[in-house]
Amino acid sequence: MPGITREEVAHLARLSRLELGAEELDHLATQLDDIIGAVARVGEVAADDIPPTSHPLPLTNVMRPDEIRPGLTPEQALAGAPAAEDQRFRVPRILGEEQ
């Protein structure tokens, strides 16, 4: 397996929504390279005909009756919001000027 480059790490940081500083990026690149080198050992196991396990319990589509139950009030739901207005979460703009 080839090592991970600094550019790849910067790309991962963008995908992960982490505004990493240059120094942090260098440090993480080294550490991730070490970790990925170690975990790549899973590739040593011949497992072509082995089904994957995503979950320890063999459950699919657990259903329950669709009943109305009491939930949080708008005040409770907004109590932890960084900013709220008119019973809504107030967020920074999500579209650019041209959109």
Partner 1 sequence: MADLTRLTAAETAARVASGDVSAVEVAQAHLDRIAEVDGKVHAFLHVDAEGALAAAKAVDDRRAKGDRLGPLAGVPLALKDVFTTKGVPTTCGSKILEGWVPPYDATVTAKLREAGVVILGKTNMDEFAMGSSTENSAYGPTHNPWDLTRIPGGSGGGSAAALAAFEAPLAIGTDTGGSIRQPGAVTGTVGVKPTYGGVSRYGLVAFSSSLDQAGPCARTVLDAALLHATIAGHDPKDSTSIDAPVPDVVGAARSGDVRGLRVGVVKEFGGEGYQPGVEQRFREAVELLRELGAEVVEISCPHFTYAMPAYYLIAPSEASSNLARFDAMRYGLRVGDNGDRSAEEVMSLTREAGFGPEVKRRIMLGTYALSSGYYDAYYGQAQKVRTLIARDFDAAFAQVDVLVSPTTPTTAFPIGERADDPMAMYLADLCTIPSNLAGNAAMSLPCGLAPEDGLPVGLQIIAPTMADDRLYKVGAAVEAGFLAKWGAPLLDQAPAL
Indicate whether 12 belongs to the interface with partner 1 (CB under 8 A): yes
- Give bridge partners of residue 36 from the DSSP assignment: none
Torsion of CA 18, 20, 24, 30, to 10 degrees: 60
Identify the residue among 5, 74, 83, 85 touching partner 1 (CB under 8 A).
Answer: 83
Q: Dmax over Cα atoms in the chain, in whole Å?
A: 58
Q: Which residues bind partner 1 (CB under 8 A)?
A: 1, 4, 8-9, 12-21, 24, 28, 31-32, 34-36, 38-45, 47, 50-57, 59, 62, 64, 72, 76-77, 79-83, 89, 91-94, 96
